[in-house]
Amino acid sequence: MNGILQNRWVRIQLVAMVLYIFNQIDKSNISVAFPGMRQDLGLSATAIGFAVGMFAWGYLVLQIPVGRLASAWSAKRTLMLMGVAWSLVSASTALVETETQLIVNRFILGVSEGGVLPSTVVVMRAWFSQKERARANLALLGTPIAAAIGNSLCGLAVSLVGWRMMFVVTAIPSLLWCAVWWWAVDDDPRPSRWLDPEVKRTLVAELDAEAKHAPVEKQHWFKTIWHPTVLILSVYNLLGLTALWGVTYWLPTLLVESGRSIGMAGQLAAIPYVVSIAMAFLISASSDRFQERRWHLVVATVLAGVFMCGAGVFGGNQNLILLVCLTMTTGLWFGRITIYWTMVADALPKGAAGPGMAIANGIGNLGGFLGPLMFGWLRSSSGGFDSAMITGGAFYIIAGLLALLVKTRRPGVSGEGERPLDRPAALGPTTAAGSR
């Protein structure tokens, strides 16, 4: 047991992943409550899409300050405070009675969750070397895992206790896991008492050697974060997340309207995210093995768009075709998530990485406002989701082509550009610095 608790892939990555899973469930569980909320609160599809989309504006408010806190103060403490806050706010969704109350609730939830993702990546960057980082960022698989298990569990909770109590039930585990996070995680390997001394020395030496080749902060961090790579990848993220959140929030409703029960809709909507988990392991392992980032990102994103367009063109009333296409779309998009955040973080000096990722995350998550609103409006105006899915697919394809403009840096190479390595990095997580 002590050996497992000394394994940083378990103690750091796994604990962070579980916290991120709870975070994503508390953010997206409202999608399963849509049918009941529309009936009880008397909201139209466009109105509820707008209310839910307000989360994205709240999410923007503290992105840069929280990202800076995580980099310059303590990512551990920052995530702890946010975990307590979002748990309490998510539970309070059970109390909403009007559209205005729902708008305010989602906005405050966005504020309380602002900076969770960049803070998580800051922790992974501090604990894992660059050649491990795509796999280390698998902690971000909390999003598809939450969707895979969350839709089913939330659908079951709605069936048993109603949509209001569902928000309370799903908030409790988040609050409890904050205590585990506080006990298990340190900001970096240096102060840790649980890590094997030999492993610690090797890991710290490797991280220090990489720091010598990392981008240097030559000006104030606020100017540094507006790096061209960050700006390009921010627009990329906005296009992709507009398409993603449009589908994520409306897929259970689409399945209910096709004749499925709310419980069955939750289970079917989980299928794309189960595939996403396997896809993320494969793509991140390939990226670390060959130490190549950009083409892994571009190809996965463009293919995600092709499949989403296919869902709009060929899905129609064919639920099987629709589900297969959206499964591939979602799997490919989440498959490249670890690579994306590795590219953003590695473009900046350590002190600017948190706020730089906050910009990319904040701008991208405006898609959380635009996506549900766009899908809701297109559904209301066209009577279906076909046009929305074709539009979302086009967004993915444009994002993938935009990513071709990004230059990447190889491990141990200062400056930009790419060159072949003498040999690929090990495929698994048992590197010299992390064999325990």
For the chain, give every domain's residue range: 2-189+221-416
Q: Are 3 and 436 in contact (CB under 8 A)?
A: yes
Other Cβ atoms less than 10 A from the Cβ of 348: the count is 23
Spatial separation of the C-alpha atoms in residues 90 and 169, rounded to whole Å: 10
At 187 the pLDDT is: 92
Token reading at 230: 């960050």
Cα separation, 410 vs 85, whole angstroms: 38
Give residue for tokens 């309070």: 92
Q: Helices (H) and strands (E) in the chain — how many of each?
A: 21, 0
Q: Which CATH architecture has domain 2-189+221-416?
A: Up-down Bundle (1.20)
What's the confidence (pLDDT) of residue 219?
A: 61
Low-confidence ranges of the chain (pLDDT < 50): 412-436
Asked if residue 324 lies in contact with residue 316, where contact means CB atoms within 8 angstroms, the answer is: no
Q: Cα Rg for the chain, rounded, in angstroms?
A: 21
Q: How many CA atoms lie within 13 A of 266 on its CB side?
A: 23
* 356/77 Cα distance (integer angstroms): 19
CA distance 294 to 418: 10
Is 154 in contact with 25 (CB distance < 8 Å)?
A: yes
pLDDT at 418: 38
CA dist., res. 64 & res. 204, Å (int)? 28
The answer to whether the Cα torsion of 365, 370, 373, 374 is positive or negative is negative
Evaluate whether 44 touches 94 at the Cβ level (below 8 Å): no
Buried b (16+ CB within 10 A) or exposed e, 386-399: bbbbbbbbbbbbbb
Q: Is the pTM of this model over 0.95?
A: no
Q: What is the pLDDT of residue 64?
A: 82
Which token pair is 318?
A: 């064919």
Residue-level pLDDT at 429: 39
* pLDDT single digits (tens) 249-300: 777 677 776 666 666 766 777 788 888 889 999 999 999 888 899 999 999 9
- pLDDT > 90 in the chain, percent: 34
